[in-house]
Chains A and B, each alone.
Chain A
Amino acid sequence: MADTALLGSSGGGFPRPGGTAVVPRAGRWRGAGFWLVRRIGSAVFVLWAVATLIFLAIRLIPGDPAEAIMGGPGSQASAAALEAARAEYGLDEPLWVQYLSQLGRLATGDLGTSYALKVPVVQLLADQLPGTLGLAVGAWVLAWILALGLALWSGLGGRGAAVVGSALEIAAASVPHFWLGSVLVLLFSTAWGWLPPVSNGSAAGLVMPVVTLALPLAGFLGQVMRESMLTAMNSPFALSAHARGESESGVVLRHALRHAALPGVALSGWALGSLVSGAVVVESIFARPGLGRSLLQAVTLRDVPLVTGVALVSALAYVVVMAVSELAERAIDPRTRDR
């Protein structure tokens, strides 16, 4: 804070301290080591916090987990059967013993057995993860392509394109997944019959879920990218580039595009959150197996181990995406390296 104030008053510059190499190589490596240790530390903290919150949330809401084990709410299980289930899953122990033993199991990678499906949670996750990963990555890539395309078009196309581009982005960003998915099914499956309404693993079946997930994200990304693209296009460095003989498209490709990408990269963590929550809806609409649908079922059936597992995987994905986006940001913008 204090040093930025000092530098700010002098237009951001101060005399270079001595020789030509600003950061010695050894220092840079030590910096990278610190960064990694800090990242891993915060990842462990996030996973612990998620596990704790899930544990507390599920125990605090009314209802009996033993009932869930015996076939969910409304099952006609006898008192003796419920008692046996409680003993088997350790639910008769004090809360803090349950909490500690669960943390211990999680620490060794044992996510337990699904109450409802009686299958190890690790195996369930391994089965469901690829489908959701494919959906999320596909949607993320499509969203970036659409957002960059919109930003480029409105950056180069003048005032009219900027207005139309902005309207498209707002419309896309404000459409809810369930509505968009339903409309797509009505048009492309029911009315025209071009695409299967159920996503069953074929390439054609992936199109509508990916588009449903990608469009709202593309709207958000497009808005922030266009904003910083236009700022860059109107900046003195763009004028300088023009004055060196650079063409309009040269200025966009060599200067503005990078500035446009920065906020998109910075929003990656948020984008992942939107993709995960969107996947819950999209996988249900298109009857597509995946983590999102598993999460929905697990919550409905009070399947504590499965909910915990899905939440932990999402949290881990979030931590990884944040680390990667920070690295990408550092690569694009050297100014962020000293933060």
Chain B
Amino acid sequence: MSAAPLLRVDGLDVGFGGTPVVQDVSLYIGRGECLALVGESGSGKSVTARALLGLAGRGSRVAVRTLDFDGTNLSGAGQRAWRRLRGSRIGLVLQDALVSLDPLRTVGREIDDALRLHTALSPAERAAKVAGLLESMGLAAADAGRRAGELSGGMRQRALIAAAMALDPDLLIADEPTTALDAEAQAQVLDLLAGLRAGGSSLLLISHDLAVVSAVADRVAIMRGGRILEQGPTDQVLTSPEHEYTRMLLRAVPAGRPRGTRLSAPTGRSDARPHAPDAKLLDSSPSIGGPVLEARNLVRAFPVPGGGILHAADDVSLRVEAGRTLGLVGASGSGKSTTARILLGLDVPASGTVKLFGEPWVPLPEASRRPRRTRLGAIYQDPLSSFDPRRRVGAILADALAAATTGGAPEGAHDPAGLLQLVGLEPALAGRHPSTLSGGQRQRVAIARALAPGPRVLICDEPVSALDVSVQAQILDLLDDLQARLGLGYLFISHDLAVVRHVSDRLAVMRDGRIVESGPTEQVFAEPRHEYTRALLAASPTLATDTSD
């Protein structure tokens, strides 16, 4: 490692149409070093990274006092100079390879791009190099002829990294490289990035995931509102943060936080605080711990394009109890969502039954199910797509209340305003359109809508996967409060082990359509019996910090 850093940025400002997005950002990255840029959506971390490639975007105004890459001053560099650097000396890996690789081109051609643009190799030599790159990333040479959509999430992310690493750039900028991946694929990609650094490349890692950052980065810079709040060695920033915002971020991480502890700071709104269980509501429902939703031996399979069968549910049995949370964890494609659809009566299993409050639920004609539908609610990862964009929040909630035939809304929440207060939102939000709300507000509205008919069971399918860690903390706390107050039974589906561990009383681990292990959450984590559970636990990065304050 030489004394001069590979990249030095001083006083970077980026604005779009007069609005500053990045302000006075200064950072440096040494040779072979990994700097992590941590922040939530809208903090300006991605724009910062793109500005380092001269790709801040259309309509951007970039100003910088110093932008020095390996002794070359890049402030005011022309497009030609930038193009010589991109792909050959600085590589970029984006979040979701499904859209970051051209869906109409083969991954081989995408990887070949950098070779074609920056070297004088013949097509045959380039093809050999592409095959070698794919193999070094743990893919098959034959995968060069396939397109991103034909590869699994982890495979295509590695192909995307292969495209960025084709010419061994000195600096790799990785923008949320593991966010779209499940724990196993994430571990593979993190291993790969560690290997690249061992080979001497520098890494700028952009992430909101502090556990990932702590596993990979040498130094951390915390960003918020376009500014860097603090930066320093990873251990120092994560164990003794100087800034209140950093402390809040660390507190919001669910990893290692036992069930029932609060992740978010009090919001000061009384409605979101824990209540004593509502006696009147609990009277009419099974007591805490009683079975409310029971699935037995569910089987469901789908034909796979090109032949073969995908066993999405293979003898799945599970039980959701009143006032308790059953966590369902597994990799992408393990059948979690298919199971949820069967439980909701949206898909018909080939065999097996579901009982709701001890009465038959699946299989059953929809007409005999409809009166009892109000007892079962669902929330999903992306609430925005489930709202009619032309309707206001108040109208959306009024519709949901009108649809309630039996049971009825929770106490004090018989109108949209009451529902909004129940989920910790201002009643004034009723006049807004969903698209104008923040991600956290949208998920709260989705929860309010799910609660309107007065359900006793909520199926939560990846409800916090698209949220920033601090917002995730607030939603997890809200779900906890609602459960305590209304005695709800939750089926909580997630690929994130830390989240599932924090919210669940019992845990079921799913793989290839089978439940390989289930039991009390802490027991499963402490003494995993199935080898897949052990692999899953090992693959999940943890953040071991003392956040008691």
Which residues of B lie under 8 Å from residue A239 when comparing CB positions?
Answer: 50, 55, 92, 94, 100
Contact B101 A13 (CB under 8 A): no
Contact B92 A243 (CB under 8 A): yes
Contact B306 A10 (CB under 8 A): no
Given A16-B151, A236-B99, A258-B104, answer yes or no on A245-B312 (Cβ-Cβ < 8 Å). Answer: no
Which residues of A lie under 8 Å from residue B98 when comparing CB positions?
Answer: 11-13
Kindly report which residue of chain B lies nearest to residue A259, judged by CB atoms: B104
Contact B304 A6 (CB under 8 A): no
B423 located at the interface, meaning its Cβ lies under 8 Å from any Cβ of chain A in the complex: no
Kindly report which residue of chain A lies nearest to residue B148, judged by CB atoms: A237
Contact B101 A20 (CB under 8 A): no
Bound-state Cα–Cα, A332 to B103, Å? 10
Contact B83 A333 (CB under 8 A): no
In this complex, the interface size class of chain A, counting residues with CB under 8 Å from chain B, is 35 or more
A1-29 to B contact mask, C-beta < 8 Å, 1/0: 01101110111111111101011100100
Kindly report which residue of chain A lies nearest to residue B338, judged by CB atoms: A6
B19-51 to A contact mask, C-beta < 8 Å, 1/0: 000000000000000000000000000000010
A235 located at the interface, meaning its Cβ lies under 8 Å from any Cβ of chain B in the complex: yes
Given A240-B100, A244-B117, answer yes or no on A14-B310 (Cβ-Cβ < 8 Å). Answer: yes
* Beta-carbon contacts under 8 Å, A213-258 to B: 235-237, 239-247, 250, 254-255, 258
* Beta-carbon contacts under 8 Å, A91-123 to B: none
In this complex, the member of A6, A18, A333 whose beta carbon has the largest number of chain B beta carbons within 10 angstroms is: A6
Which residues of A lie under 8 Å from residue B96 when comparing CB positions?
Answer: 11, 236
A304-336 to B contact mask, C-beta < 8 Å, 1/0: 000000000000000000000000000011110
Which residues of B lie under 8 Å from residue A246 when comparing CB positions?
Answer: 83, 87, 113, 117
Given A2-B302, A27-B306, A244-B114, answer yes or no on A237-B100 (Cβ-Cβ < 8 Å). Answer: yes
Contact B306 A334 (CB under 8 A): no
Nearest chain B CB to A162's CB is how many angstroms away?
Answer: 11
A88 located at the interface, meaning its Cβ lies under 8 Å from any Cβ of chain B in the complex: no
Which residues of B lie under 8 Å from residue A22 when comparing CB positions?
Answer: 146, 150, 306
Contact A6 B312 (CB under 8 A): yes
B5 located at the interface, meaning its Cβ lies under 8 Å from any Cβ of chain A in the complex: no
Which of B102, B150, B336, B341 has a CB less than 8 Å from the CB of A241?
B102
Nearest chain A CB to B163's CB is how many angstroms away?
Answer: 7
Contact A243 B332 (CB under 8 A): no
Kindly report which residue of chain B lies nearest to residue A9, judged by CB atoms: B337
Contact A11 B308 (CB under 8 A): no
Contact B149 A14 (CB under 8 A): no
Which of B118, B149, B153 has a CB less than 8 Å from the CB of A245?
B118
In this complex, the member of B92, B103, B180 whose beta carbon has the largest number of chain A beta carbons within 10 angstroms is: B103
- Classify the interface of chain B: helix, strand, loop or mixed: mixed
B103-140 to A contact mask, C-beta < 8 Å, 1/0: 11100001001100110000000000000000000001
B273 located at the interface, meaning its Cβ lies under 8 Å from any Cβ of chain A in the complex: no
Which of B86, B105, B155, B312 has a CB less than 8 Å from the CB of A243?
B86
Bound-state Cα–Cα, A24 to B304, Å? 13
Contact A332 B151 (CB under 8 A): no
Given A255-B102, A334-B147, A334-B150, answer yes or no on A240-B306 (Cβ-Cβ < 8 Å). Answer: no
Which of B83, B333, B341, B461 has a CB less than 8 Å from the CB of A15?
B333
Given A236-B99, A259-B104, answer yes or no on A334-B149 (Cβ-Cβ < 8 Å). Answer: yes
Contact B87 A244 (CB under 8 A): yes
Nearest chain B CB to A4's CB is how many angstroms away?
Answer: 10
Which residues of B lie under 8 Å from residue A11 when comparing CB positions?
Answer: 96, 98, 153, 180, 332
Which residues of B lie under 8 Å from residue A236 when comparing CB positions?
Answer: 94-96, 99-100
Contact B117 A14 (CB under 8 A): no
Which residues of A lie under 8 Å from residue B99 when comparing CB positions?
Answer: 235-237
Contact A240 B337 (CB under 8 A): no
Kindly report which residue of chain A lies nearest to residue B92, judged by CB atoms: A243
Which residues of A lie under 8 Å from residue B308 when comparing CB positions?
Answer: 17-18
Bound-state Cα–Cα, A14 to B91, Å? 27
In this complex, the member of A13, A24, A237 whose beta carbon has the largest number of chain B beta carbons within 10 angstroms is: A13
Bound-state Cα–Cα, A335 to B99, Å? 13
* Beta-carbon contacts under 8 Å, A255-314 to B: 255, 258-259
Contact A9 B164 (CB under 8 A): no
Nearest chain A CB to B69's CB is how many angstroms away?
Answer: 14
Given A23-B306, A259-B104, answer yes or no on A243-B152 (Cβ-Cβ < 8 Å). Answer: no
Kindly report which residue of chain B lies nearest to residue A17, judged by CB atoms: B308
Contact A14 B104 (CB under 8 A): no
Which of A5, A241, A245, A259 has a CB less than 8 Å from the CB of B337?
A5
In this complex, the interface size class of chain B, counting residues with CB under 8 Å from chain A, is 35 or more
Which residues of A lie under 8 Å from residue B142 when comparing CB positions?
Answer: 20
Nearest chain A CB to B487's CB is how many angstroms away?
Answer: 28
Which of B147, B163, B180, B304 has a CB less than 8 Å from the CB of A244?
B163
Which residues of B lie under 8 Å from residue A24 when comparing CB positions?
Answer: 306-307
Contact B55 A242 (CB under 8 A): yes
B347 located at the interface, meaning its Cβ lies under 8 Å from any Cβ of chain A in the complex: yes
B475 located at the interface, meaning its Cβ lies under 8 Å from any Cβ of chain A in the complex: no
B391 located at the interface, meaning its Cβ lies under 8 Å from any Cβ of chain A in the complex: no
Given A14-B310, A20-B140, answer yes or no on A242-B337 (Cβ-Cβ < 8 Å). Answer: no
Contact B341 A2 (CB under 8 A): yes
Bound-state Cα–Cα, A328 to B146, Å? 18
Nearest chain A CB to B194's CB is how many angstroms away?
Answer: 22
Bound-state Cα–Cα, A210 to B149, Å? 41
Which residues of B lie under 8 Å from residue A247 when comparing CB positions?
Answer: 79, 83
Contact A255 B105 (CB under 8 A): yes
Bound-state Cα–Cα, A18 to B113, Å? 29
Which residues of B lie under 8 Å from residue A158 when comparing CB positions?
Answer: 58
B462 located at the interface, meaning its Cβ lies under 8 Å from any Cβ of chain A in the complex: yes
Kindly report which residue of chain B lies nearest to residue A242, judged by CB atoms: B55
Kindly report which residue of chain A lies nearest to residue B117, judged by CB atoms: A245
Nearest chain B CB to A332's CB is how many angstroms away?
Answer: 6
B400 located at the interface, meaning its Cβ lies under 8 Å from any Cβ of chain A in the complex: no
B365 located at the interface, meaning its Cβ lies under 8 Å from any Cβ of chain A in the complex: no
Contact B113 A241 (CB under 8 A): yes
Contact B306 A13 (CB under 8 A): no
Kindly report which residue of chain A lies nearest to residue B99, judged by CB atoms: A236
* Beta-carbon contacts under 8 Å, B36-82 to A: 50, 53, 55, 58, 79
Kindly report which residue of chain B lies nearest to residue A2, judged by CB atoms: B347
Which residues of A lie under 8 Å from residue B114 when comparing CB positions?
Answer: 244-245
Nearest chain B CB to A19's CB is how many angstroms away?
Answer: 10
Which residues of B lie under 8 Å from residue A7 when comparing CB positions?
Answer: 333
B464 located at the interface, meaning its Cβ lies under 8 Å from any Cβ of chain A in the complex: no
Contact A13 B152 (CB under 8 A): yes
Bound-state Cα–Cα, A17 to B336, Å? 18
Kindly report which residue of chain A lies nearest to residue B462, judged by CB atoms: A9
Kindly report which residue of chain A lies nearest to residue B313, judged by CB atoms: A6
B358 located at the interface, meaning its Cβ lies under 8 Å from any Cβ of chain A in the complex: no
B156 located at the interface, meaning its Cβ lies under 8 Å from any Cβ of chain A in the complex: yes
B160 located at the interface, meaning its Cβ lies under 8 Å from any Cβ of chain A in the complex: yes
Which of A20, A240, A250 has a CB less than 8 Å from the CB of B92?
A240
Bound-state Cα–Cα, A62 to B91, Å? 75
B504 located at the interface, meaning its Cβ lies under 8 Å from any Cβ of chain A in the complex: no
* Extra 19 A-B pairs, beta carbons < 8 Å, given A20-B142, A237-B100: A6-B335, A9-B381, A10-B153, A12-B149, A14-B333, A17-B310, A20-B143, A236-B95, A237-B101, A239-B55, A243-B55, A243-B164, A244-B163, A244-B164, A245-B84, A245-B85, A245-B113, A258-B105, A335-B103
B interface residues (Cβ-Cβ under 8 A, vs A): 50, 53, 55, 58, 79, 83-88, 90-92, 94-96, 98-105, 110, 113-114, 117-118, 140, 142-143, 146-147, 149-153, 155-156, 160, 163-164, 166, 180, 302-308, 310, 312, 332-333, 335-338, 341, 347, 381, 461-462, 512
Cβ contacts A to B, 11 pairs, < 8 Å: A5-B338, A6-B312, A11-B180, A16-B151, A16-B155, A237-B100, A237-B101, A241-B110, A245-B84, A245-B87, A335-B147
Closest 3 CB pairs of A and B: A10-B332, A243-B92, A14-B333
